[in-house]
A and B are shown apart, each in its own frame.
Chain A
Amino acid sequence: GAVVSQHPSRVICKSGTSVKIECRSLDFQATTMFWYRQFPKQSLMLMATSNEGSKATYEQGVEKDKFLINHASLTLSTLTVTSAHPEDSSFYICSPNNAKGAGEQFFGPGTRLTVL
């Protein structure tokens, strides 16, 4: 299957700081990137969808100015949590897509963000 990496895997930061999460699709071109958030003991919630070279589309209730998404290349997308607060503590997971995988959909290993 597709190889997807995320960096960092775990981050702890102080309230008010910004954190950047990188997602790389290592062996196929991700024309679309889905970013999810998962709170403890809950399912994945879609935050936004980005297409390479264009602005991301955010789900209702997700602040685009707080969660900045950049998808400048077909192998890299970044999610920046700006001015993080404790309620932003969560597990963030990316999922690249190029609609050529005959249905396969792979996910990154996730980034655990803890805001103190």
Chain B
Amino acid sequence: GEDVEQSLFLSVREGDSSVINCTYTDSSSTYLYWYKQEPGAGLQLLTYIFSNMDMKQDQRLTVLLNKKDKHLSLRIADTQTGDSAIYFCAERSDSGYSTLTFGKGTMLLVSP
């Protein structure tokens, strides 16, 4: 079945850039997602990218997709302490009817 892998932990200093990486195995992935989860809260959709795109930028967030290597990354510029959370990568392999397959999440810790 599909598999999504992420590193478990990332620590950065406030003001630096953070890069969270994700790899997936499903070559038919159509959409790839990044979600943020703060303690005790649900999942907040940060951004998503369609598989025919290489890059998507939204304010401080930049998503890069290397479809050949099945590698997705999320770059957060000027990381703030409020960005500390767990970040989940997810993929969907059709036009929108199926569920998402999630990675295990990357805990981002931003220190002052």
Contact of A105 among B33, B40, B104 (CB under 8 A): B33
Interface residues of A in 35-66 (CB under 8 A from B): 42-44, 46, 49
The digit string for B70-109, where 1 denotes a CB below 8 A from any CB of A, is: 0000000000000000001000100111011011110000
Q: What residue in chain A is nearest B103 (Cβ atoms)?
A: A43
| Cα of A44 to Cα of B43 in the assembled complex, Å | 10
Q: What residue in chain B is nearest A94 (Cβ atoms)?
A: B42
A97 with B97, Cβ < 8 A, contacts A43-B105, A103-B92, A107-B43 known: yes
> Cβ of A109 and Cβ of B42 under 8 Å apart?
yes
Q: How large is the interface on A (under 10, 10 to 19, 20 to 34, 35 or more residues)?
A: 20 to 34
Contact of A107 among B30, B31, B42 (CB under 8 A): B42
A103 with B42, Cβ < 8 A, contacts A42-B104, A43-B102, A43-B103 known: no
> Cβ of B43 and Cβ of A93 under 8 Å apart?
yes
| Cα of A107 to Cα of B90 in the assembled complex, Å | 13
The digit string for A80-110, where 1 denotes a CB below 8 A from any CB of B, is: 0000000000000101010111111111111
Using a CB–CB cutoff of 8 Å, the interface residues on chain B facing chain A are 30-31, 33, 35, 40-43, 45, 48, 50, 88, 92, 95-97, 99-100, 102-105
- In the A-B complex, the 10 residue pairs with the smallest Cβ-Cβ separation, listed nearest first, are A99-B96, A109-B42, A107-B43, A110-B42, A103-B31, A43-B102, A43-B104, A99-B97, A107-B42, A34-B99
